[in-house]
Structure 1
Amino acid sequence: MNTEMQPEQVRPEEQVEEQAMTMQDLDRYLADEFEVKRPQHGDLRTGVIIHVDESGLLVDCGFKREGFVAADDLEGLDEEMRSRIEVGAIVPVFVLQAQNREGQPVLSVQQAMMYEDWLKAEEIMSSGELYAGKISGCNRGGLVVRFGKIRGFIPASQVVGIPRRMREEDRKRRLEEMIGKEVGLRVIEVDRDRRRLIFSQRRALRAWQELKRNEVMSTLNEGDVRTGEVTDITDFGAFVDLGGADGLVHVSELCWQRVDNPRQVLHIGQQVEVYVLSVDRQRKRIALSCKKLQPDPWTLVDSHYQVGQLVEGRVTRVLDFGAFMELDLGVEGLLHASEMIGTPELHPTQVLQPGDVALVKILRIESPRKRIALSAKQVRQSEWEAWMSEKEEQERQRAEEEAATAAAAAEEPAAPPAAAETAEGEITEAEPVELAAEESSFTELVDETAAVEDDDAAALGEDESA
């Protein structure tokens, strides 16, 4: 008996049915694959450059045929992007047309980059993230700022330092001064269809200040020398902006001379070079000094003064044994009680007071020990009278100059007070706004300013009520 297994016989009709099913699956797979790869207008893809010539690029994006990028499209790219255009480079592309006469998809690298910028702007607006933008221009309605390939707009009502009712010429000057500066911004409107990208500096102010403060403090070290701008002056010193963080120059660190009023040494807006004394990152405090960058006046004493010289001094402190007087170099000398004018029974405080100015003679100089001995008794009567006469003449001339200045100021018409600046984040009536747009459409949209103003006012009003 033959026990070998006989192969199973497949009927012809079953073979035909199996082959038919296999062909259907293959057709379905190919059809699905073809649908996925079919280019559609508006698609954003990434492709590999496979050919470059004068007419443009051929890019493999996984379509049935390579896509074509015209040379004109590449002219709108920045220098950095153009330098990357070579065979093998990976570039983003935007499908402008499914196919041209040759059956090739028509692509654009410039539009792809712009499309990505719009998506990024939407993401930033949704997240509330800060954007550091450089002001590239201005017009009567506000500031223009670049956002990748897009031109964004900051309405004047959203610019810090521009009150709503500021005079036209003042507002124009303020806007022009901001060109080229980097500012912190928040995106408040993105409309791709209308090509509107609107920013606000006001809404980003506090967060931007905190960010810049942390950046400055992270790089600041004791002993650094920086240049900053005086932003505020108080009785105890001056605050200097170091590029985002304010440091304090205490009144004792302004200069070697004794300072009673810091406003006589510095003024707001002045650019000063400062020495960093200390940085307290935990308390976010910076101590600065101007005096550290000035020569120690005691090194000049021997060449500036000599024994027997008459000098004018201002009393800084009065003690039981005498008074310290500040001389013109900023150094202090001691007028001992025994060298004061008056009877021995009088206490020094009964003879002199801080702030008094007197003529004294130098008795002794010890610059290595930083000491100068002074005397009022050894000043002759004629020397005292000549000094007093000179002081009176100086006072008379100063009074005449002050009177003339006051009279001239009284004749000038008073300027109307500027409206107070609104608080951060407060939305006021919208200024005339020119739309944010791409380079090709920005100019033609300027004429739509009036219509846009109504739209912005409504939108900003909704934000305010919210």
Structure 2
Amino acid sequence: MASLAQQIFSPLSSKLSMDNFLLTKLKTPLMAANSRRKMVISAAAVAVTNAQTKERMELKEMFQEAYERCRTSPMEGVAFTLDDFHSALEKYDYNSEIGTRVKGTVFAVDANGAFVDVTAKSSAYLPVSQASICKIKHVEEAGIVPGLREEFEIIGENEADDSLILSLRAIQYDLAWERCRQLQAEDVVVKGKVIGANKGGVVATVEGLVGFVPFSQISTKSTAEELLEKELPLKFVEVDEEQARLVLSNRKAMADSQAQLGIGSVVLGTVQSLKPYGAFIDIGGINGLLHVSQISHDRVSDIATVLQPGDVLKVMILSHDRERGRVSLSTKKLEPTPGDMIRNPKLVFEKAEEMAQTFRQRIAQAEAMARADMLRFQPESGLTLNSDGILGPLSSSELPAEGLDLSDIPLGDDSS
């Protein structure tokens, strides 16, 4: 049995011994290689650590030297002195008294206003109530957004944080008064919106300012309630910033507008109201009267059968009183045939310009006749009236050889 076992395991044992021998032969160079690699890595790590340590030591020495210089001689080698520092601060210093105007840049906005950088110790604040001469709910409505650079006026100081309170409204207020003075000097017609009324007249806003229009200076017969929220053409009567007094006139503005309306002009109008004696027509802000006798050649017993408030029609300027601001109108002169305004008003409006042209020609001829009568005894003027009723130069055949004989003209009664 022993010999059998030896025969069986002896080759196997020999094989195992051979394998162990081979493994040992292979492991020896691998272990050596690993050892060399570890030695290289360790050497590199030591080199890096030494370099970092050296750098840290150099930095530490540099900071220690800087600390000593700051402690013992802080201004050594510094060209910018303490006096230079104070001088630089003075360049950014400004008078922060109330009423001073400063430049600033908006850098933030909120629901109540805007924060402004005015290069002060603390930021300044612009309340929404001071952002515009007009009433607004948010500063952005006045174009105030971050990045906007503008001139502001200092109106106060917040004691809680020493921040300044700014205003744009105060600057705009001054500019508005200056603008009104200029418009008054140039006698310009402006638009004013009626925002209120009292016993003496109406209150209107012009150029952002609140002005007063006395009832005596309003050309229309409308009540204060009817004028509320409407725009009126106005002229300046008094502009006094010191007394905050701004007086305006609608009548003067109307007279200026009426000066541009020639007799015989055809304009569009809107019926405003009816009265037993006629209809009041709005012709572009001017209130004119179309008298019942000027509606048609035919008799009109009831104006309401021909016109109604709100009707739009063509009317002709018959006359106007610039001092009183009154304009007389006519549709009667525009009728192609008598009674058309009652029977066929559409035809009247279609032929309005043509009929007005005929009316103007008749007026021109009448004026020419009147001038000719005045010049009839003045042949030296060189003018005469031709067969068409037009004044023109006298021909040689029309001039008397020895002038006019005035002996037959009766003398005036001196007793009268």
Q: TM-score range by the shorter chain?
A: 0.3 to 0.5
Greater C-alpha Rg: 2
TM-score (norm 2): 0.42
Larger RCO: 1 or 2 (CA < 8 Å, sep 6+): 1
TM-score (norm 1): 0.38
